[in-house]
A = this chain, B = another copy of it.
């Protein structure tokens, strides 16, 4: 059976012991220039590549980090991973990827498999488990960083978007345009992010001393399909809203569809604002006003945090990154100027 060339093969060719080879390839000062160069030349010529698995066994560090994602096909997630991957690469780490399919059971299994692989650290995006990682963590002794943890409760180390601030700004934007009846189209699963975005919405209303109308709060499931039905609900009200602030862009997409089907014009008849700034948001008709999450950067930050943890430092517990309102063309003043 075929075996890749090992340190021993090279030692034989160079007439030295294999430990000398090992040192020579690490440029150890213990080895004389002459022999080091000779060995390196032979190694190069025979296409030698050190086995990371053997090295990992003795050094007890695999230089791999595990990334748990709900689904890599999710555009939000994939950009976060892009940021993680870049940072990893710059520091000699490799990324092991695993889907959890948003299933807590699977999420645990995946983390177990990461443990078997002896990853040096773990990043989890949009976890539904959240704080339950704390015991796992102490059992495995592997640093874990969560990105946009969806489980209520603080986790030890995390990178979170400032949901409250972002949605407050978005709502304020609508208020400043003159809207008084602003709907909130949320997500009915009670994710952390929905709770926070709703609370930003409320804060903005309160800040402007505007009344809160419970009938203007409806729920979808974060996908565009359900958002259509929710929009119908809002439009069927005796006094429908003049603007809809959506939990996320996918929801907003459904809203735009529903409005389009009813021949309503955006923003002339009704304004729509999303959250996330997915790639698609600049291609809708009209282009969507939304709140941007710097996804790549969040991945990067998570990884930097992890690097610190792995080197024994203790970085700030919870990193929050500011959300940025991106004003496009789906938001404008309401048709009738407010009295």
The proximity string for A residues 172-212 relative to B, scoring 1 for CB distances below 8 Å and 0 otherwise, is: 00000000000000000000000000000000000000000
Near B by CB (< 8 A), chain A positions 1-53 give: 1-4, 47, 49-53
Give the CA-CA distance A139 to B54 in the complex, in Å: 20
Q: Which of A78, A79, A112 has the most CB of B within 10 A?
A: A78
Task: Give chain B nearest CB distance to A106 CB in angstroms.
Answer: 9
Task: Give chain B nearest CB distance to A187 CB in angstroms.
Answer: 19
9 A-B pairs (CB sep. < 8 Å): A4-B118, A47-B139, A51-B57, A52-B118, A72-B72, A72-B81, A94-B113, A283-B284, A284-B285
Give the CA-CA distance A287 to B51 in the complex, in Å: 51
The proximity string for A residues 270-311 relative to B, scoring 1 for CB distances below 8 Å and 0 otherwise, is: 000000000110011100000000001000000000000000
Chain A residues in the interface with B (C-beta under 8 A): 1-4, 47, 49-54, 56-57, 60, 62, 64, 67, 71-73, 75, 78-79, 81-82, 85-86, 89, 94-99, 112-113, 115-118, 139-141, 224, 253, 257, 260, 279-280, 283-285, 296
A285 / chain B contacts, CB cutoff of 8 Å = 260, 284-285
A95 / chain B contacts, CB cutoff of 8 Å = 96-98
A64 / chain B contacts, CB cutoff of 8 Å = 96, 117
A85 near B57 with CB under 8 A, answer no
Residue from B3, B49, B73, B96 within 8 A of A60 (CB atoms):
B3
Q: Please give 20 more A-B residue pairs, beta carbons under 8 A apart, in addition to A3-B60, A72-B81, A253-B283.
A: A1-B60, A4-B115, A4-B141, A47-B139, A51-B57, A51-B118, A53-B117, A53-B118, A64-B117, A72-B72, A73-B75, A73-B79, A82-B99, A85-B98, A89-B98, A94-B113, A95-B98, A280-B280, A283-B283, A284-B285
A283 / chain B contacts, CB cutoff of 8 Å = 224, 253, 257, 280, 283-284
Copies in the complex: 2
Give the CA-CA distance A115 to B48 in the complex, in Å: 10
A112 / chain B contacts, CB cutoff of 8 Å = 49
A71 near B75 with CB under 8 A, answer no
Task: Give chain B nearest CB distance to A122 CB in angstroms.
Answer: 13
Task: Give chain B nearest CB distance to A245 CB in angstroms.
Answer: 20
A113 / chain B contacts, CB cutoff of 8 Å = 94
A94 near B86 with CB under 8 A, answer no
A49 / chain B contacts, CB cutoff of 8 Å = 112, 115-116
